[in-house]
Amino acid sequence: MVKILSLRRLLMKSKKWLLGAGAVLSAALLLTACGQSEKKADAPKTFSYVYAMDPSSLDYSVTSKSSTSDVIANVVDGLLENDKYGNLIPSLAEDWSVSKDGLTYTYKLRKGVKWYTSDGEEYAEVKAKDFVTGLKHAADGKSDGLSLIQDSIKGLAEYVSGESNDFSTVGVKAVDDYTVEYTLNKPESFWNSKVTTATMLPVNEEFLNSKGSDYGAPTPSSILYNGPYFLKSLTSKSVIEYEKNPNYWDKDNVKIDNIKLTFYDGSDQESLIRSFTQGAYTTARLFPTSSNFESTKKEYGDKIVYSPQEATSYYLTVNVNRQSYNKTAKTDEAQKTSTKEALLNKNFRQALNFALDRHSYTAQLNGEEGADKIIRNSLVPHDYVQVGEKTFGELAQAELVSYGDQWKDVALTDGKDTIYSPEKAKAAFAKAKAELQAKGVTFPIHLDIPVEQTDVIAVQQTNSLKQSIESTLGTENVIVDVLQMTDNEKLSITSQAKVPAQKDYDLNGTGWGPDYQDPATYLNILDAKKGSALKHLGITRGKDPEVMAQVGLDEYKKLLDDAAAETSDLNKRYEKYAKAQAWVSDSSLLIPVASSGGSPTVSRTVPFTKAYSQVGIKGDPFVFKGLELQNDVVTAKEYEEAFKKWQQEKIETNAKYQKELEKHVK
């Protein structure tokens, strides 16, 4: 699913982030903990916690919203899923193969898997044609997940655009009842990671037609089920309940019988730990800046664990082509033109990048102890892919130093702010000031940053940013104007602004989560032709060539194209994308701040027992297959031991998985 994520909503206030990406079932809680077997005999079979967003639809082929996929991932299976270490393993497809040219993927379905109604009544067998129906339904319904696959599958883009109205020309085919085949336009080494998205799930045609416009309505009876759970109740702003599917094909790996999630609006943060202490909740997200955190630490001190960082990256976007000034602290035209010139200047943007104290910024959300646990220093997470013994971050770091000595001691790893440097910020600013004064720019430069006035953490974070930039660069040079406004006002000039020209800010927080297992899923957001993040820079695709050239996006496009063209050698491909990441870091058009995950929790879930994935829906925080519960609260020591064990096993199993891929080439 393609997504631009609001930093305010997901890092600062979003219940999805606060409750899901670390509170409930983070990617941290994924694999088997050591020393837990003796505790499993009388382990609880019911999971209770909260949810924060009602799904507006259960039509998983058409909507890729997280509120929908959180539900669907528990009730509908696709071709493949992820194991505890992130490897792709059989789900409805018991085996798969790819042609030697990398263009044809064939999946052999397991026989006897059934569709069920919400009442548990058998409806039909899952057949290959259901995957054809699912994709056609997605295409006909103009699914918001189509952009992920429409350029991949042969003929799909032409069908979606209307150039062809014959779906049989699209590269998906039911060869027989138990064989489904996809034909691609070009080889994609990461194709299998795409089949774990909701858009690629099967749909029963007879049921779809019988329901008509009621198909996928937010009620349990509107869809069919072939997954580990049935959705038993869905009451808006009240409760979501699941019940184990007793006839599920992989029922031995479903450890929890019943799940109850109660709606939570975020207004009473302390209610989570209170309900956990009372035994009503299985887990609880903690808030280090809340008034009761000290008392919580006294009670649960050695049982507070921090989840590992996750794949979503949050950053500040720089509006280099601002055209709207309906919300601004600027008082005259000279301030507007001076700010625009400044933001177009790379040295000035680097000065802001080096002047931002990320530890102070993230501490407003995660407290002093947890601040560094969510810091991220690059767009692509440093360990997203590997080349031999080297992480992607190490490759990018080696390339970054070629842009100047200012990057020499910057590490593109998580967990420590290696970019913040008042000395480097002042040096970059001195260069920028000389260049800008030669163009007639007047100082101080005024930077507008919008923030929702009722979002206490967001206001605190923005004020922290203001303090670190102004104290480093001096208010005679730069003034950060924090513009407090209502939620609707902020949304209208940021994420919900319909066109780039309506983006009414100089700096704004947003984020990106990956869609498939390749660095391109992050780096393509700045693609000069189709990048979804260009709008956040005030750039209209195809209409602002001068601005794009001025900030170097035309040169960046060449790096992306060169990397994309490498489809046969993964190591070379990743090395080329590392060059692109280095360019993004040096450009400072996106100023990295933090990641998802890294959340403090207390829990009675056995660490690392559920599926892990950075992409698709089967590794989502709210997915329950595989998750195990225990009676005792997990201690920090138990958690760390389990985490180290998991990390080592992950390295070993990932390497084995990569070696065995060759067996699937036929």
**More confident: 43 or 13:** 43
Q: Is 6 a residue whose pLDDT tops 60?
A: no
HSE, CB side, 13 Å, CA atoms: give it for residue 62. 14
Element housing 564 (H / E): helix 553-564
The Cα 235–Cα 218 span in angstroms is 9
Residue 272 has a pLDDT of 95
111 three-state secondary structure: coil
Place 3 in a pLDDT band, splitting at 50, 70 and 90: very low
Determine if the peptide bond prior to 444 is cis (ω within 30°): yes
Tens-digit pLDDT profile for residues 148-183: 999 999 999 999 999 999 999 999 999 999 999 999
pLDDT band with cut points at 50, 70 and 90 for residue 244: very high
Residue 581 has pLDDT above 60, yes or no: yes
| Mean pLDDT in residue range 589-610 | 95
Share of the chain above pLDDT 90, in %: 83
Q: What is the pLDDT of the chain when averaged over all its residues?
A: 91
Q: Would you state the pLDDT for residue 41? A: 59
pLDDT of residue 613 exceeding 60: yes
The least confident of 114-118, 357-361, 405-409, 613-617 is 613-617
Name the pLDDT band for 404 (thresholds 50, 70, 90). Answer: very high
User: Mean of the pLDDT values across residues 251-271?
Assistant: 93
Residues near 411 by beta carbon (within 8 Å), at least 6 away in sequence: 377, 393, 397, 418
Residue (of 356, 357, 358, 369) closest to 289 by Cα position: 369
Span 548-574, average pLDDT: 95
- 309 touches 28 (CB < 8 A): no
pLDDT tens readout for residues 65-113: 888 999 999 999 999 999 999 999 999 999 999 999 999 999 999 999 9
Average pLDDT over residues 303-327: 95
Give the pLDDT band of residue 646 (cuts 50, 70, 90). very high
Tell me what the mean pLDDT of segment 228-256 comes to. Answer: 97
pLDDT by residue (tens digit) across 407-431? 999 999 999 999 999 999 999 999 9
Lowest mean pLDDT of 28-37, 142-151, 268-277, name the range.
Answer: 28-37
Q: Is the pLDDT of residue 511 over 80?
A: yes
Torsion of CA 169, 171, 176, 179, to 10 degrees: -170
pLDDT of residue 269: 83
pLDDT bin (cut points 50, 70, 90) of residue 33 is very low
Question: With contact defined as beta carbons under 8 Å apart, do 539 and 548 qualify?
Answer: yes
